[in-house]
């Protein structure tokens, strides 16, 4: 079974991921790809605490996630791979040709970012990175929760995303 | 939302409150549950409602720190154990070990805390969590407890 969702969300593991997506997709594992978290026992314990016992969490650096991706994709259980920012997802896609869809789930306000959707704020560099992902055949859509309409990248960047 | 505005017309004088606490959660959870506390007890001012709506992880943590600094709150109640408010509260705890975090808070939890807010934070929070846990019951389902 392929990984169900590749998500960018700066809150990493939180309610929308564990419950909002976890329940309808029946997620059984989350791969949190973040170099900082992967090197910190404290950070890992923090995120592990919030995950229900039936769901496994794997903490990977970009390098180890690329190396282990085939293993996760062949796991047989529904899973989600999660990064906290666009640059980390770009690095992941660079190393894994099999990633063809990326979900923008939450990139919140920060200095230098411009609001594109209620839950998506982007810098010019981040917009370029998303366009580059799209140009290489990766479908980029924004969708915070399963019940929401997936917003295509063009609509995100042209301000047509929010009703 | 970052103040006790949800306490409504039953608001008292916050300066007279011995112990205050933050209620943090998704959407209008905090505002709603604090307004219910105010309606039932007239003491909604004990709580400072905080919403994570539209905020990134750093913003939620910063808001919690600001509210603790402003109010002296020593307890943070959150809705979901896996929620971003809980994660942010745990980060606050890392360098503020005197802060107690209670996850999965419900109305019964907060109602109990209101009447024990003068106790040490750990005791009041533990008592409130026990009450909240005990309030969860299923009625009318075969085999339910």
Give pLDDT tens digits for A112-121. Answer: 999 999 999 9
B55–A14 CB contact, under 8 Å: no
Instruction: List residues of chain B with CB under 8 Å from any CB of chain A.
Output: 26, 54-59, 79-84, 86-87, 90-91, 94
Token reading at A39: 């090197």
- Residues A40 and B109 sit within 8 Å (Cβ to Cβ): no
pLDDT value at position B13? 42
**CATH class given for the domain over B4-123:** alpha beta
A50–B83 CB contact, under 8 Å: yes
Quote the CA–CA distance of B57 and B91 in Å, as a whole number: 10
Tell me how far CA of residue B142 lies from CA of A51, B105, B138, B139, B145, in angstroms.
Answer: 29, 26, 9, 9, 9
**pLDDT class of A163 with cuts at 50, 70, 90:** low
B54–A109 CB contact, under 8 Å: yes
Q: Which residues of A touch B53 (CB under 8 A)?
A: none
Q: In what order do the strands lie in the sheet with B75-78?
A: B47-51, B21-25, B75-78, B100-102
A11–B86 CB contact, under 8 Å: no
- DSSP letter (8 states) at residue A150: P
- Residues A108 and A121 sit within 8 Å (Cβ to Cβ): yes
pLDDT value at position B145? 63
CB within 8 Å of A112: residues ≥ 6 apart: A123
Residue B109 has pLDDT above 80, yes or no: yes
B contact test, residue of A11, A55, A126, A144 with most B CBs within 10 A: A11
Using a cut of 0.95, tell me whether the model's pTM lies above it.
no
Residue that is written with structure tokens 């994709």 in the block:
A73
Scored b (16 or more CB within 10 A) or e, B5-27 reads ebbbeeebeeeebebbbbbbbbe
Q: Which of A42, A51, A107 sits opposite B82 (nearest CB)?
A: A51
pLDDT value at position B16? 43
CA–CA min distance B3, chain A (Å): 21
Nearest to B79 by CA among B54, B55, B109, B100: B109
Quote the CA–CA distance of A139 and A8 in Å, as a whole number: 13
A108–B86 CB contact, under 8 Å: no
The average pLDDT across A133-152 equals 96
Give pLDDT tens digits for A34-80. Answer: 999 999 999 999 999 889 999 999 999 999 999 999 999 999 999 99
B80–A51 CB contact, under 8 Å: no
Tell me how far CA of residue A72 lies from CA of A1, A103, A104, B58, B63, in angstroms.
Answer: 9, 18, 21, 30, 37
Burial of B80 (0-12, 13-18, 19+ CB in 10 A): buried
Q: Which residues of B touch A52 (CB under 8 A)?
A: 82
**pLDDT class of B111 with cuts at 50, 70, 90:** very high
Can you tell me the ipTM of this complex?
0.83
Give pLDDT tens digits for B5-33. Answer: 333 333 334 444 457 999 999 999 999 99
Q: How do the domains of chain B map onto residue ranges?
A: 4-123
Average of per-residue pLDDT values in chain A = 95
- Residues B132 and B109 sit within 8 Å (Cβ to Cβ): yes
Q: Which residues of B touch A19 (CB under 8 A)?
A: 80, 82
Identify the closest residue of chain B to A18 by CA–CA distance. B82
Residue B2 has pLDDT above 50, yes or no: no
pLDDT value at position B65? 98
Helix (H, G, I), strand (E, B) or coil at B45: helix
pLDDT value at position B1? 46
End-to-end CA distance of chain B: give it in Å, rounded: 37
The average pLDDT across A123-138 equals 97
- Residues A55 and A28 sit within 8 Å (Cβ to Cβ): yes
Give pLDDT tens digits for B70-95. Answer: 999 999 999 999 899 999 999 999 99
**pLDDT class of A2 with cuts at 50, 70, 90:** confident
**What is the CATH T-level fold of the domain A5-157, as seen in this structure?**
Fructose Permease (3.40.35)
């Amino acid at each position: 079974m392929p990984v169900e969702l590749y998500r960018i969300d700066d809150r990493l593991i939180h309610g929308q991921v564990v419950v909002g997506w976890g329940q309808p997709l029946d997620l059984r594992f989350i791969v949190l790809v973040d170099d900082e978290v992967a090197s910190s026992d404290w950070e890992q314990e923090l995120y592990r605490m919030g995950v229900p016992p039936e769901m496994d969490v794997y903490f990977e650096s970009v390098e180890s996630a690329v190396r282990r991706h085939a293993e996760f994709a062949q796991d047989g259980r529904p899973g989600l791979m999660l990064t906290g920012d666009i640059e980390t997802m770009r690095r992941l896609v660079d190393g894994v040709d099999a990633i063809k869809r990326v979900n923008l789930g939450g990139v919140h306000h920060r200095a230098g970012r411009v609001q594109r959707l209620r839950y998506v704020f982007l810098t010019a560099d981040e917009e370029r990175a998303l366009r580059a992902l799209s140009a290489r055949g990766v479908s980029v859509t924004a969708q915070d929760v399963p019940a929401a309409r997936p917003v295509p990248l063009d609509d995100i960047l042209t301000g047509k995303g929010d009703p | 939302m970052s103040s006790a505005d949800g306490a409504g017309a039953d608001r008292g004088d916050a300066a007279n409150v011995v112990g205050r606490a933050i209620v943090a959660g998704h959407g209008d959870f905090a505002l709603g549950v604090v307004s219910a506390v105010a309606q039932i007890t007239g003491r909604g001012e004990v709580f400072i409602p905080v919403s994570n709506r539209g905020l990134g992880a750093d913003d939620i943590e910063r808001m919690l720190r600001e509210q603790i600094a402003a109010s002296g709150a020593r307890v943070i109640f959150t809705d979901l154990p896996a929620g971003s408010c809980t994660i942010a509260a745990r980060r606050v705890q890392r360098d503020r070990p005197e802060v107690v975090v209670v996850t999965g808070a419900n109305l019964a939890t907060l109602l109990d805390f209101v009447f024990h807010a003068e106790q040490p934070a750990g005791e009041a929070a533990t008592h409130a969590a026990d009450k909240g846990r005990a309030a969860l019951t299923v009625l009318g389902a075969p085999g339910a407890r």
